[in-house]
Amino acid sequence: MTDTLRRLGPLDRLLSVIDQGLRTSFGAPSAIGGTGRPTPRPADAPAPGELEPEAGREAASLMRVNHAGEVAAQALYHGQALVARDPATREFLLNAAREEGDHLVWCAERLEALRSRPSLLNPLWYAGSAAIGALAGLAGDRISLGFITETERQVEGHIDEHLARLPAADTASRAILEQMKADEIRHGAHALERGGATLPEPLPALMRMTAKLMTRSAYWI
């Protein structure tokens, strides 16, 4: 997907984003793409059946929220890359999107291991996030990069909350979330280093409200 976006013109890039949205929302993990990094695994990971039923349900609900967040992350990055003005900025966005693709694969695999499913609202999360990403990109590359920095800062807080809520026995999900957190921190720092602008209020507050709506919905649906 990312290599294709580098080569194609604007219309073909748009069609590629739509194709990515369909594969992200409805395809198997192998269709999503990424860098191919192996899923983080702790040495003491229990089999899914070893979790108590209530703990398994809570872990699955939390990982469904994280999967939905990674669907949105894919869409944001590709929406921004679609309209980025500087080829170097587009390259940065697409490379980051590939790493976010790893997160999406890991969360999908973990949901399957927990005998659960992704959010039924994933197509909505992808479409809405792609539109938001494109709007951020149209505001200029500095605003677009600043949007990444703020998004990743908020995602870091969201992952910290989930690490605190995750059942202690679910070390497999914990290993995934800890690697995701490290990647998100790095993406945000790199976007800032590339000249990302500080977003004025009320944009960060609106981003928090949107994220809260998604996380609460994805937890159940």
Alpha carbon distances (Å) from 205 to 29, 73, 150: 32, 18, 10
Cβ neighbours of residue 103 closer than 8 Å, sequence gap 6 or more: 66, 70, 73, 176, 180, 183
Higher-confidence position of 17 and 140 = 140
Structure tokens at 127: 């479409």
d(CA 134, CA 97): 14
pLDDT of residue 170: 93
pLDDT at 115: 92
Which pLDDT band holds residue 171 (cuts at 50, 70, 90)? Answer: very high
The candidate with the shortest Cα–Cα distance to 135, out of 127, 95, 55, is 127
- Three-state DSSP at 36 gives coil
Rounded to an integer, the average pLDDT of 60-69 is: 95
**pLDDT greater than 90 at residue 26:** no
The position carrying tokens 């980051």 is 96
Q: Give the span between the Cα atoms of 126 and 39, in whole angstroms.
A: 23
User: Which of 11-15, 115-119, 152-156 is predicted with the least confidence, judged by mean pLDDT?
Assistant: 11-15
More confident residue, 199 or 22: 199
Sorted by where each starts, the structural domains of the chain and their CATH numbers stand as 2-28+49-220 (1.20.1260.10)
pLDDT of residue 209: 87
Q: What is the pLDDT of residues 109-150, one digit of tens each?
A: 999 999 999 999 999 888 888 889 899 889 999 999 999 999
Q: Is 80 exceeded by the pLDDT of residue 19?
A: no
Q: What's the rounded mean pLDDT across residues 82-108?
A: 91
- In 3D, which of 167, 178, 165, 50 has the Cα closest to residue 113? 50
Q: How far apart are CA 184 and CA 148, in angstroms?
A: 10
Handedness of CA 152, 70, 19, 8 (dihedral sign): positive
What's the pLDDT at 74? 85
- Residue 46 — very low, low, confident or very high, per pLDDT cuts 50/70/90? low
